[in-house]
Chains A and B, each alone.
Chain A
Amino acid sequence: MSLAHDSRIAVRHAALAQRPARVWPEINHPAAWIVAAILVIMPLIANGFFLIEIFASTLILGTMALSLMVLAGYGGMVSLMQLTIAGFSAYMVAVFGISGNANISLGWPWWLAVPMALALATAFGTLGGALAVRTEGIYTIMITLAIGAAFYYFTNQNWAIFNGHTGINTVATPHFWGVNWRADIPFYYIVLAVAALCYFAVEYLSRAPFGLALQGVRDNPRRMAALGFNVNAHRVAAYAFASFIAALAGVLQVWNYRQISPGSVSVGACIDVLIIAVVGGITRPIGPFIGALIFVLLRTFALDFLVRIGLDGNRFRLLIGLGFLAIVFWSSDGVIGLWQRWRQSRGADRSGGGRRHG
């Protein structure tokens, strides 16, 4: 809760631009158009490694962190189980779909296995949320962390469904219309489409009654009840929505690696999602994607850099940790908060370009 609380203070700092009445989300900043254009023509610029290992990974992790951003930034609920929900969804794709572990996988076609996985993972996250909303602040963090840890150990020990510590390998990916959708370029576009859809859905929702009510619940749950809102029902619905986003990311993740094992749902990975969201900034939906890009770049390139200066390459987490500390120290609104303040100090008279609250 303290994270969300801090972010709230930052929200007020960012409150310069008056918000025009808007119905549809619009990209009204030139930089946003440029970023969108670059993302669309990325396959022309980047080779397969960059396309998948950097950009698709960023978008998948960013989508997971986006689901946390919805809960923490709008709802004031810090959930550490968002990666667990994504992992559950990934496992369900492997279990219901086709994989190398024929004794486990049911062999459903992807267009049946994926909706099944999404539905089950959303139900799983909603149930977890229904437990978590009975608590506040640090206890929400603890209970969702407990769910994440329990799932991790369960996958390690359960062989009938989750195939223990070896996990499920060689998961089939979709082939239709004569296209191998896991080939680098088609897969990149699938990931981009899903991430963009989730991004715009969250952005749109922030101004819809449900999103506004969620922000009201964050600011003052007691008053929300005194205005006629069933606060816990709103919180559980937020978990359901966020779980669906996390579940989508989980499907993409299992298609990306073509396997899923307990290592992907470890407690450390759960915390990575929190770090990504906080480093990027949890007040706006773009934050988690920026955080994910930083995380993936560090994970990929810090190794070479560290080895070059004579340190163990596995210390990339040290860099991430230092970055995390610096962000928490200097900008409770993450990297977007830093950027925002830099822009404001450069010239407050320039229009805010629609960069409002998230």
Chain B
Amino acid sequence: MDSVAHRLSAVGAGAALELRGVTRLFGALAALTDVTLTVRPGERRAVLGSNGAGKTTLFNCITGDFPPSSGTIRFFGEDVTHFPPYERIRRGLRRTYQISALFPGLTVQDNVYLACRGVSRGRFSFLRPGQNDALMHAADNLVQAVHLSAVKDQRVAELAHGQQRQLEIALALAGAPRFVLFDEPAAGLSPTERAELIEILTSLPPHIGYIIIEHDMDVALRVVESVTMMHNGRIFKEGLPEEIQSDPEVQELYLGGGHE
């Protein structure tokens, strides 16, 4: 176990993401307690745990949607603990949401265009993008990458659930992401769509690391190289996928137990 922990916790300065003693309180409730976590650049990791284990709160603290009550968060060596979300995003952090957080009144193309624009200059531009706008092309490519070209001029409100999930991922891959947080990307997807999702995740450029929250072990364990187990807001165990899968404590707590 010791050697695994050693392998997983990369050298501090070179870490993509480094959390130290992160605690998040909601009133008297501690959603996260003293979470310390290090992820290497390019590393792909699953965060597992039952409902209420603090997985999504962990994401919210990393992106700054909710600031942590205490502790520090470093992103590629830079202390971002007190940065607003948009500053972290501009530094290459990305996330998706468990419940799709899209812009229903806009088209697919406009959604992706906004994602591209958000991480580049000209966010306040009053000039319409022209035919040869570089970001328009970037948006086109992203739409294509998540297989949504056929519906790119449709309003997001009219898309099927699976398409909305794919768009959710496209928004997180705009610009030059360095590290992505995927919050249950497979939720509600059909088996075919799951296969597509696995393909999208495994074909990401190797320098892009990610953390994925996923209840579906078939998806989660196929796209990661390491696993962090959470329980009651604490990190419970870290290891390789096969170690976690065969760990008796983990099986009792999560895999075998009352997980729906």
- Chain A residues in contact with chain B, CB under 8 A? 8, 11-12, 15, 18-19, 21-24, 204-205, 207-210, 212-213, 215-216, 218-220, 222-231, 233-234, 237, 357
Contact = CB atoms under 8 A, between A and B. Distances in A.
Contact of A215 (B97, B103, B115, B153): B103
B65 A226 contact: yes
Contacts of A222: 65, 101
Interface string B95-108: 10100011111110
Q: Chain A interface secondary structure, helix, strand, loop or mixed?
A: helix
Closest 6 CB pairs between A and B?
A228-B118, A227-B118, A219-B103, A223-B101, A228-B89, A225-B85
Given A12-B105, A213-B114, A215-B106, A226 B153 contact: no
B131 A23 contact: yes
Residue among B105, B125, B126 with the highest chain A CB neighbour number at 10 A: B105
A207 to B, nearest CB: 5
A209 B86 contact: no
A204 B129 CA distance: 11
A21 B90 CA distance: 28
Residue among B103, B127, B129 with the highest chain A CB neighbour number at 10 A: B103
Contacts of B157: 12, 15
Contacts of A237: 124
Given A12-B105, A234-B124, 11 more contacts: A12-B157, A12-B158, A15-B155, A15-B157, A19-B153, A209-B117, A209-B123, A216-B106, A218-B105, A219-B104, A226-B63
Contacts of B127: 208-209
Q: Chain B interface secondary structure, helix, strand, loop or mixed?
A: loop
B14 interface: no
Contacts, number: 118
Contacts of B106: 212, 215-216, 219
Residue among A11, A224, A357 with the highest chain B CB neighbour number at 10 A: A224
B193 interface: no
18 contacts: A12-B104, A12-B105, A12-B157, A15-B157, A22-B128, A208-B126, A209-B122, A209-B123, A220-B103, A222-B65, A223-B101, A223-B103, A226-B63, A226-B65, A226-B101, A227-B119, A228-B89, A234-B123
A234 B122 CA distance: 12
B186 interface: no
Contact of B107 (A19, A24, A224, A226): A19
Range, interface on chain B: 35 or more
A8 B114 CA distance: 18
Nearest to A219: B103
A212 B139 CA distance: 14
B15 interface: no
A215 B104 CA distance: 10
B210 to A, nearest CB: 15
B221 interface: no
Contact of A225 (B84, B105, B111, B130): B84
A204 B65 CA distance: 32
A205 B119 contact: no
Nearest to A232: B84
Contact of B90 (A210, A224, A228): A228
A23 B130 contact: yes
Nearest to B175: A228
Contact of A212 (B63, B110, B131): B110
Nearest to A209: B125
A204 B128 contact: yes
Contacts of A11: 105
A12 B158 CA distance: 8
A220 B130 contact: no
Residue among A12, A219, A237 with the highest chain B CB neighbour number at 10 A: A219
A219 B103 CA distance: 5
A223 B119 contact: no
Nearest to A22: B128
Contact of A220 (B63, B101, B123, B126): B101
B103 A228 contact: no
B123 to A, nearest CB: 6
B123 A229 contact: yes
Contacts of A226: 63, 65, 85-86, 89, 94-95, 97, 101
A210 B97 contact: no
B86 A225 contact: yes
A15 B158 contact: yes
A169 B152 CA distance: 56
Interface in B37-69: 63, 65
Contacts of B86: 225-231
B124 A210 contact: yes
Contacts of A8: 104-105
Nearest to A227: B118
Given A208-B127, A222-B65, A229-B86, A357 B105 contact: yes
A223 B97 contact: yes
A220 B65 CA distance: 13
B65 A12 contact: no
Contacts of A223: 97, 101-103, 171
A231 B123 CA distance: 11
Interface string B124-159: 111111110000000000000000000001010110
Contacts of A213: 114, 117-118, 123-124
A301 B122 CA distance: 48
Contacts of B90: 228
Contacts of A216: 103, 106, 111, 114
Given A227-B119, A227-B171, A205 B126 contact: yes
A222 B125 CA distance: 21
